[in-house]
Every structure is written in C-alpha cells, then in structure tokens.
Structure 1
Amino acid sequence: MKSEAVKVGPDRAPHRSLFFATGICRESLERPLIGIASAFSDLVPGHIEMRNLERFIERGIEAAGGTPFVFGVPAICDGIAMGHEGMRFSLPSRDVIADGIEAVVQGHALDGIVFLTNCDKITPGMLMAAARLNIPAIFVTAGPMLAGHYQKRRLSFVRDTFEAAGRYHKGEITLEELHELEMEACPGAGSCQGLYTANTMACLTETMGMSLPFCGTAPAVLAEKKRIAYQSGKRIVELVRENITPRKIMTTSALRNAIVMDLALGGSTNTVLHLLALAKELENGAINLNTFDELSRKVPHLVMLRPAGDLFMEDLHFAGGIPAVLSTLGELIEDNPTVSGKSIREIQQSVRFIDREVIRSLDNPHSVEGGIAVLYGSLAPEGSVVKQSAVDPEMRVFKGKAVCFSSEEEAMQAITAGKIQKGSVIVIRYEGPKGGPGMREMLAPTSAIVGMGLSKDVALITDGRFSGGTRGPCIGHISPEAFEGGPIALIKDGDEILIDIPQRKIELLVDEAELQKRKESFVPPPPRYTRGLLARYAKLARPTHQGASMA
C-alpha cells in the first residue's frame, strides 16, 4: 500500500506518533488509509448536508476494513458569485481544488480517496485531481435540490430568481412577487434543480463510471443518497485492494460516453471546458473540441430539463436516472469499466423501468442533434460553443447588428435600462480566461434578456462563458479571446454578425481589408490584476478550446 511510506518500519515512529495523536489506534493504522476530500460548506446550498454524507462514507470505509480521514476542500457557489467580481474566482478555483487535493494526498501518502462534491467547479476540479493522482478513487455527488413551490407551480433557481428579476424590470411582476419567488425558489439542500453545470457534471461523472449508479441524480435530501454514500465508502476499500485506479476507468471511451450523455441530456456548455481540462490531465489527445461537434451530429437530444424545458432533476431520477438514459442510448455508448464493479453494458442491461415522458426513445427525440453545438467562422476561428437545445428554432439562424460592451456590468446596465433594440447582437468581450481574468459566467444578462421578453429578438456573444442555466441564442467560449487580439476585439457597434447554428457558423460580416486595418491598430487593455490568484491564472490559463486550465 502507498501508505506504507508513512507507517511501516522503525524510522516511521514519528509519523505513527502523529497519526496516533488524531485518536486512531494501531489496528486502524494497519488498514488502508482512505481520504475523504469533502467540500462541505455552510455557504453553498449544494454542500450543506455533506456532514451527514461524511458520516455514512466513514461508516462504509470502516465496515470494509479501511480507516477514513476527512479533509476540507474549498467550494464556491456560482449562483452567489454571479454578476460581480467574485465570479472571476470561480473557474480558477477548479485548479486550486485540484492542486490542494494533490498536495494533501501526496503529503500523507493516502491509499485511496472518496471525493465528496456537488457544485459547479468542485466536481471538475476533483476529477482533475483524480486523473493526476491516479490512486483508487470514487465520487459521491451530494445531489440536486428538490423543486420549490409557489401557488400550485414548481419553481427552480434560475427561472424564478434571475429571470424573474428581468420580469420585474420589465414591469410584469411587483417587487413583492419577486421577494416571494426568491424565498420559495430554493427550498433546501442540494444543487440547483435543473440541468445546470453542477447536475450535468454529476451525471457525467456517473456516466464515466466514477460514481455508483443513480448517484448523479438522487436528490440531496433522500435517504437513498446516504445509502449511496455508505456503499461508496465500502467500495473504495475494495478498489484499493483491487488496485483499480481512475485512469483504468476514465478512458477515451469514458470521455466519449460523457460527451454523448451531455448531448443527450442537453447539458451545460461548461462541461466542454471541464471535459477538455480533464482530457489534458489524462494526457488524452484523442478528445478535443471537434469531438463535441462530431458526436453532436450523431447523438439525439432525449431529455428536456430546465432551463430548456420544464422538467426537474427529480423527474429524471424517478424516470430511471442515468442508467435509463444509458440503456436508451444503446450502442451510442461504448462499453467501459466503472467503480461499481459492473461494466457499462451490465448497467444498461440491468434497467427495468424507463419513463418515456421524461426520457424519450431514439426514434422520438426532441431533436435529432445533441444539446451542444460548436460554431466556427471569421468571428471564432478556434471555435465557440452554444447550448442549441435551449435556443428557440426561430433563432437558430440570426443576423443582427453589434452592440459592444467591454464588461458584463456595462451590458447588464444597458439591458435592464431597456436600451437594447430588437435585432441586436450583444457583444460582451474582455471576459475570457486571460482578459477577465477568470472567464465569468453571463447568467445575469442572459436571464435579463429572457425575463424582458427579448429572447426571440436579440442574441448575445462573448469570450466569457455561460451558466448551465442560460437559454436563448447565447454563444460563448469565443476563441481567440479579445485580450489576445481575437476577432471579437475588432467588432464595432453596427457591424453585422451572422449566427447560423445548423451550419455551425458564426461570421463577422466586415470586409477583410477593414478588419486588417482594425487589427493593426489594436492595443490590448492593461491586465486587471497584477498579483494573487487571478494574476497567476491570467498568465497561465490555456485558451478555451483547450479547457482553460492552468495545467
């Protein structure tokens, strides 16, 4: 066992003494030492019940003959960080999480690890750590929140807070109604109820085989989640004894399966960044941005959860969860091992119930193409990403005149003040990985556009990114970014922009000679940060089409 480096032999008496100081006995020290990387936080609704899950994981580890050690991992709630300076720290925190876990596990020579996670950047950061460390590992995602309820209708976080704020600015609801919605939209523990980034990543983690069946969808408050935590604790000890490591599970097939699932569910565009960053950690050059587009043309969109539709994560769970979607996808999914000990094919064959009102069959999809599309063109030579499953069919081809802003705040002020005209393409630039820095999510402006009734009249493009809650014709991850002199930096108010999702095009309709003239006079703005995490991220971050990590 790896832990023998800190517990075996007379020269390790000092090390053993320090372990005994934690309260464990000699017998416990002779067992596999299992870390529980817990992202518990009182600040993050998706993480507030993790103390209970820690207990059940510990019970499982002890029952299987291991010795558990809980240690903390930082967590940011993207919903709370949204729309202000704090969002710049969210994506960089992914690298901080991976680095911190690597340091703790290597520093203490742990034999295996349970990743207790849930929300937006924590799960991908932990996946990156698992790939880098390559010691036996298993994931427990803490589960989605139940729907809120208000006057006989179900509520979700994005639609009934961010979009409701836009409806208030438009005059459709009163301030009192807005306050009632904000009180009821998030009724308790769990990640936000729709197919936003946290829940998408939980589903993809299960699909890749890194968590037990149904872990990705089981709601946070159910006893089922505690049982999954207990079984995961038991299973990690077996994984250590069997020497089953993450790189034996997170193969090219596993990553392709995750992309297929993402497309079938209509998941968050953030998963593009996260899967590309994970592929980088795995040293897997077979997965790139074009993989998403290749598979998107083959994989139908089968599930319509919020924000694109009206269903919730709880509906997907009770419809059969990820195993039911895997079964439905059939041969579009490749066989692969999983931490459960069952292969993907065995999980597919074990399914006994599928609710076809929630999970459509292959011959009756919502769309013949997957939920995400990758667009290229003169405006995005290295690619851009759109959640096409959340775009109205009428807006999948759109030509409009640019209205340019150099920050999210500038755009938000114009939108809420009613200054955006129909037929506009809102351009938000200098929000990329280096220019932001931190590649902020644009949920506030996109939700305001929907709330103010403009989602069929205007588009939004950015070198930043979008929340999983975004819907409408919103194209993000435009690469190269403005700070690096990409074409998005050269746009002027009034320039015509063509967005053609079916043809995978995004074009700046400006004469090449004029663009060259603008490029010659381009001067990037000074860096916003010269010290600390964001300065380091701006210096080291890869471009979006490579995952935007510092690795």
Structure 2
Amino acid sequence: MKEKSCQVTQGAERAPHRSLFYACGFTEEEISRPLIGVVSAFSEIVPGHIHLDKIAQAAKDGVRMAGGTPILFPSIGVCDGISMGHAGMCYSLPSRELIADSIETMAMAHCFDGLVLIPNCDKVVPGMVMAAARLNISSIVVSGGPMLAGKNNAQDISLSKMFEAVGAYKAGFITESDLSQLEHDACPGCGSCAGMYTANSMNCLCEAIGMALPGNGTIPAVYALRVQLAKQAGMQIMHLLNKSIKPRDILTKQAFENALAVDMALGCSTNSVLHLLAIAHEAGVDIDLSLINHISAKTPNLCRLAPAGDFHIEDLYAAGGVKAVMAELAKKDYLHSQAITVTGYTVKENLENAHLSGADGTVIRSIDKPYSSSGGIAVLWGNIARDGCVVKQSAVAPEMLVHSGPARVFDSEEDAIAAIFSGSILAGDVVVIRYEGPRGGPGMREMLGPTSALAGMGLDKQVALITDGRFSGASRGASIGHISPEAASDGEIGLLRDGDIIHIDIPCNKINAEITQEEFIKRKGTKVPPQRHLHGWLARYAKFVSSANTGAAFTE
C-alpha cells in the first residue's frame, strides 16, 4: 500500500520527481511499487557493522521478492569499544540522536512507505527504533547478529575479558605476552561483541518489544540463518505495509513492559534503561524508573551471560534464544501475551508457533529455579540520587550488594583510571566519578575503563564505583551509574568530598551519603565545577539533552 511515495511518484506535477528516479536507474515498474527505505549502518570501522552490506542486500532481496522497491541509504555508527577511554566516547550516546534525526530526514524528504532498519551496535539500535516510533511508518528491525566468542587457552572469552586484562597486566597478574595473545583471541570476527553487552541487549529487546522477528537477538552474525532472517524481514515489511501495522501499534505500554520483563530475565546492560526510556518518549508511552524498578522486583533473573557469567550469546541461541526466555516467563504470566508484533501475530501466537518448552536449565534457568527472584537491573534512590540511579545487580558480587565506604572523588574518568592504576584505590573505597553525565560530560561516557581496571586488579569485590556517567554492558561489579540529577545540573554527587561515607544497599534500593541536608546546602556555596570548553555538535547536545532518569533524550 503506497501511503507516502505517491507524493513523489504519481501525477503530472510529479514528472520532475520521476525524472530524478530515472536518473538513479529506477524503472517505471519500480517506482510504481511501494518504496522501502533500507537503512544500513555498514562501515569499515565497526566489527558489528563490517558485514551489514550483505545483510542489507539480503533485506533488499526480500523486499523485491514481496513486491516492493528497496532503496538503500546509510546510517552512522560509533564503535563503543574503539571510542572507549578517550574524548571519542563523548560522541557515542549523542550519536543516537543524530541517527534518529537523519533517518527522519531521509524518510520524510523522500516519502518512503516503510523502513527496514539494519543496525547492530549500541546506540544505533535504539536510534533507529526511535526514528521508527517518531515517523510511525511501517518498520522492521533486523540486526547484524552477535559475534562468536573468542578462544584463549580453551576458554571462551569476549571483549570484557580484554578490557579486564589491561588491569590484570597493570597489576602484574599477567605478562605482556599474555596480553598480546588475548588481544588477538578476544574478537574472532564480525558481529556485535559476544556478551550480553548493550548491542546484544538491545537486539534481544527488539524481539521482546515486537519490532524484530524471532532470532534477531541471538542468531550469530556468521550463520546463514542471519542472511535468511534479513530476507524474511524484507518480505515481512511488505506484509506490515499491506496490513497497515505501524510502530506505534506495536510499541504500546504492554510491549514496553514485555521488553522490561525480558530485560530483567536476561540481565541486560544498564544502558537498556536509557534507551527504552528514550524510545518510549518517541512513542508517546509513559514509562519511568519506578515502573522499571517495579518490574525488576517481580521478574526473576534467568540468565547470567558475560560479563555476569561464563555464557555468551551463541550459548543463548543454542538454548532457544529470546523465544525460550519469553516462553519461560509466559509460564507464570510475566508477559502481556496479546501484544502485537512485526510477525503480524501476538506474543502468545509467536510462542505457540515456536513449539518451545522454555528453559534448558543451564544457560536459561527455569522460572522455578532462577538465579534470583528479582531482575538483572535495580534502581536506587537516596540523598545523592534524588531522581534515581541504576545498577546491573546480576553482575554484582553478593558481598558487594550492601557496602559502605569512604568516597574517593574524581571529576573525570581519566583521573579515576590514573588513581586506580597507581594503586591508590584501597579495598572498601567508593570511587566517585562525576561531571560525566549527559550534560556534564557531555555525552555520558561509559566507564568500562575504570570498572575493568578494578576487576582486572581483583578489586571488583571490594570497591564500589558510582557515577553520573554510565557503564558499558561489559562492566561488572558494584558499578552504579546514571546518578540523577547529575553534577552539572546541581546534583548532590557534585557536592561529595574525599572521605564522605557512602552507604549502598542494592536489595533495599538505597544509596546515601552520610551528609546532612544542612551540610549539602553549605557546600553548595563553595562549589567550583570544572570548566568544559565545548564546541560543535557536543555544545548543542549539552544544551538540549535531558537527564539520565528520563533517557537522556532531547528536550522538546
């Protein structure tokens, strides 16, 4: 059904427009059919995207087989691993907004009837889904799929082990030769890095929320099934178009609650909180941190994938994938079974069609024998996080779930890493990294460097880290991020001093400093924030971005 493209392909007044289509090599037959934008994040710098040219071609083939005309256009994509630990990470989260804006621009300017969205890594997945929700034209997501785990001394490894190896080397636990061997072994080929990091979290949640076909989150990048899935997605967009099924028909409150339930069961990255909040904002759906905490409190954690455990996404795929996790959750009505999905069927019908029994008992635990009765993510509140903060509790050692210790305060990630590697951080400390929030960073840098340094040096079970920045999905330990309000927005984290006692109680959802309100007020008068000399895109981003507790989305 040509709802949009007729504006550029039909009628005598559109003859100039058609002449430009012919200049691109299109035929009359092609421009008489629905025009489907195929958005590929292919590039030669991101391992998760290096093969997306092939996935895009498969999706285009599917569109043609089903009677549409596919038209390819690109999306940018930042590799979080390569941009980690330097100024480049300031651009990672902001790129999500650029991606959504650029897709909106291309779709509106050229009147596409529908979209096949081909992301794979971190901010690209939510950026594309945000655009789909904003545009509300028939859309489907098909990712590039996860990387296979690397092998080192017969052990499965992935990128998180590589970052932690740097800390181990600095501490003298491994040799330079060991480090070199690890860097050659950790990432064996194309795909999104092999653990339950942000990219794989979001690709799995695209299935759970109903915007991607079953298998999107877990079929490995190198499998022929991934190419087949892309062809099926290309064909399916024509079905969605013919049935007039649009993103906002799928992205309902019930769909977000389904995604959050699966998020908690899988133990996804804390970044999923930021992205689901931002997607919900674009879809006009009201979700907040209290709802996320409510769903986490009642949803059991069924999986412990790297970095929280030794399994990787390929193991989850072999155990039945996201479908099996959802089948397990459905046994006790943790899902809204009537929510519609891009298959054209409901969640209940998708699970019935899959003929799955649910948990394998190893990679996916049964609903009656979970790792924990609550979900993988917890939201904490207290006098240094009035608007909340987030922790991946499934990746926290039991002895660190409740912790008190003196603050070691740093105004940048670089200063904190230098202190960790110098050996000046001691067991029991609470490392505080501030002015790294959405506005203060700007861009809310991921703190994989500090968390990996602590883990590699054997301190992740003795030292907590709190920040108004965020964490990579590859982080583990008592890593508490998204503290809101951030230091740059007069949050109390900006008033902390070395030696202040911080109390963390993850099971009770509390985080507090041993400081009175009167003392906070007194310190506010002497506060001298660091100066950030911003220019270009980041200066505009810092001006318009909202707080982490609302998804770090752009304010209207």
Q: Normalising by the residue count of structure 2, what TM-score does the alignment of the two structures yield?
A: 0.98
| Whole-angstrom distance in 2 between the partners of 1:228 and 1:540 | 38
| Whole-angstrom distance in 2 between the partners of 1:415 and 1:67 | 55
Alignment of 1:283 onto 2:271 = no
| Whole-angstrom distance in 2 between the partners of 1:353 and 1:214 | 16
| Whole-angstrom distance in 2 between the partners of 1:526 and 1:146 | 43
Superposed CA deviations along residues 130-183 of structure 1, whole A, max 9, x for unmatched, are 000000000001100001112211111111x10011100110110111011001
Specify the alignment match of 1:183 in structure 2.
Answer: 184
Specify the alignment match of 1:256 in structure 2.
Answer: 257
Superposed CA deviations along residues 477-497 of structure 1, whole A, max 9, x for unmatched, are 001101111110110100100
Alignment of 1:450-489 (within 5 A): 450-489=455-494
Within the candidate set 29, 32, 41, 2:31 is matched to 29
SS of the residue aligned with 2:142? strand
Q: CA deviation at 1:526?
A: 3.3
> Which ranges of structure 1 fall in alignment gaps of 5 or more residues?
none
Within the candidate set 320, 345, 348, 1:345 is matched to 348
Specify the alignment match of 2:208 in structure 1.
Answer: 207
The answer (yes or no) to whether the contact 2:218–2:313 under 8 Å persists in 1 is: yes
Letter in 1 for 2:462: D
| Whole-angstrom distance in 1 between the partners of 2:223 and 2:340 | 27
Within the candidate set 454, 459, 466, 1:449 is matched to 454
Alignment of 1:532 onto 2:533 = no
| Whole-angstrom distance in 1 between the partners of 2:373 and 2:67 | 49
Specify the alignment match of 1:491 in structure 2.
Answer: 496
Specify the alignment match of 1:85 in structure 2.
Answer: 87
Letter in 2 for 1:15: H
Q: CA deviation at 1:511?
A: 2.8
SS of the residue aligned with 1:295? helix
| Whole-angstrom distance in 1 between the partners of 2:20 and 2:214 | 38
Within the candidate set 410, 420, 429, 1:415 is matched to 420
Alignment of 1:198-277 (within 5 A): 198-277=199-278
Letter in 2 for 1:549: A
Alignment of 1:374 onto 2:379 = yes
SS of the residue aligned with 1:477? strand
SS of the residue aligned with 2:231? helix
Q: CA deviation at 1:525?
A: 3.4
The answer (yes or no) to whether the contact 1:269–1:372 under 8 Å persists in 2 is: yes
Letter in 1 for 2:106: V
Specify the alignment match of 1:71 in structure 2.
Answer: 73
| Whole-angstrom distance in 1 between the partners of 2:357 and 2:163 | 35
Superposed CA deviations along residues 110-132 of structure 1, whole A, max 9, x for unmatched, are 00000001000000000100000
| Whole-angstrom distance in 2 between the partners of 1:128 and 1:122 | 10
SS of the residue aligned with 1:332? coil
The answer (yes or no) to whether the contact 1:403–1:493 under 8 Å persists in 2 is: yes
Within the candidate set 384, 397, 402, 1:397 is matched to 402
Alignment of 1:548 onto 2:552 = yes
Letter in 2 for 1:379: I
Letter in 2 for 1:13: A
| Whole-angstrom distance in 2 between the partners of 1:242 and 1:515 | 57
Report the more deviating stretch, 359-368 or 507-516.
507-516
Q: CA deviation at 1:96?
A: 0.2
| Whole-angstrom distance in 1 between the partners of 2:212 and 2:491 | 39
The answer (yes or no) to whether the contact 2:327–2:357 under 8 Å persists in 1 is: no
The answer (yes or no) to whether the contact 2:116–2:234 under 8 Å persists in 1 is: yes
Specify the alignment match of 1:514 in structure 2.
Answer: 519
SS of the residue aligned with 2:483? coil
Specify the alignment match of 1:318 in structure 2.
Answer: 318
Specify the alignment match of 1:158 in structure 2.
Answer: 160
Letter in 2 for 1:547: G
Specify the alignment match of 2:308 in structure 1.
Answer: 308
> Which ranges of structure 2 fall in alignment gaps of 5 or more residues?
none
Q: CA deviation at 1:524?
A: 3.4
The answer (yes or no) to whether the contact 1:274–1:547 under 8 Å persists in 2 is: yes
Q: CA deviation at 1:512?
A: 2.7
| Whole-angstrom distance in 2 between the partners of 1:423 and 1:212 | 46
Specify the alignment match of 1:365 in structure 2.
Answer: 370
| Whole-angstrom distance in 2 between the partners of 1:149 and 1:521 | 53
The answer (yes or no) to whether the contact 2:439–2:488 under 8 Å persists in 1 is: yes
Specify the alignment match of 1:194 in structure 2.
Answer: 195
| Whole-angstrom distance in 2 between the partners of 1:382 and 1:48 | 39
Superposed CA deviations along residues 508-548 of structure 1, whole A, max 9, x for unmatched, are 1023322221012224333430x211101100000011110
The answer (yes or no) to whether the contact 1:435–1:538 under 8 Å persists in 2 is: yes
Letter in 2 for 1:222: Y
Alignment of 1:47 onto 2:52 = no
Letter in 1 for 2:540: R
Letter in 2 for 1:33: L
The answer (yes or no) to whether the contact 1:319–1:353 under 8 Å persists in 2 is: no
SS of the residue aligned with 1:284? coil
Letter in 2 for 1:487: E
| Whole-angstrom distance in 2 between the partners of 1:268 and 1:316 | 16
SS of the residue aligned with 1:52? helix
| Whole-angstrom distance in 1 between the partners of 2:209 and 2:396 | 27
Superposed CA deviations along residues 315-337 of structure 1, whole A, max 9, x for unmatched, are 00010011111100011010211
Superposed CA deviations along residues 326-383 of structure 1, whole A, max 9, x for unmatched, are 1000110102111112210012223335422111111100011100000000110110
Letter in 1 for 2:421: T
The answer (yes or no) to whether the contact 2:327–2:356 under 8 Å persists in 1 is: no
Specify the alignment match of 1:20 in structure 2.
Answer: 22
Letter in 1 for 2:388: G
The answer (yes or no) to whether the contact 1:92–1:549 under 8 Å persists in 2 is: no
The answer (yes or no) to whether the contact 1:483–1:525 under 8 Å persists in 2 is: no
SS of the residue aligned with 2:365? coil
| Whole-angstrom distance in 2 between the partners of 1:406 and 1:523 | 11
The answer (yes or no) to whether the contact 1:465–1:477 under 8 Å persists in 2 is: yes
| Whole-angstrom distance in 1 between the partners of 2:531 and 2:137 | 42
Alignment of 1:105 onto 2:110 = no
SS of the residue aligned with 1:15? helix
How many residues get paired?
A: 548
Letter in 2 for 1:61: V
Letter in 2 for 1:390: A
Q: CA deviation at 1:232?
A: 0.5
The answer (yes or no) to whether the contact 1:378–1:487 under 8 Å persists in 2 is: yes
Letter in 2 for 1:411: A
Specify the alignment match of 2:129 in structure 1.
Answer: 127
| Whole-angstrom distance in 2 between the partners of 1:247 and 1:158 | 35
Report the more deviating stretch, 515-524 or 63-72.
515-524
| Whole-angstrom distance in 2 between the partners of 1:488 and 1:284 | 30
| Whole-angstrom distance in 1 between the partners of 2:438 and 2:42 | 27
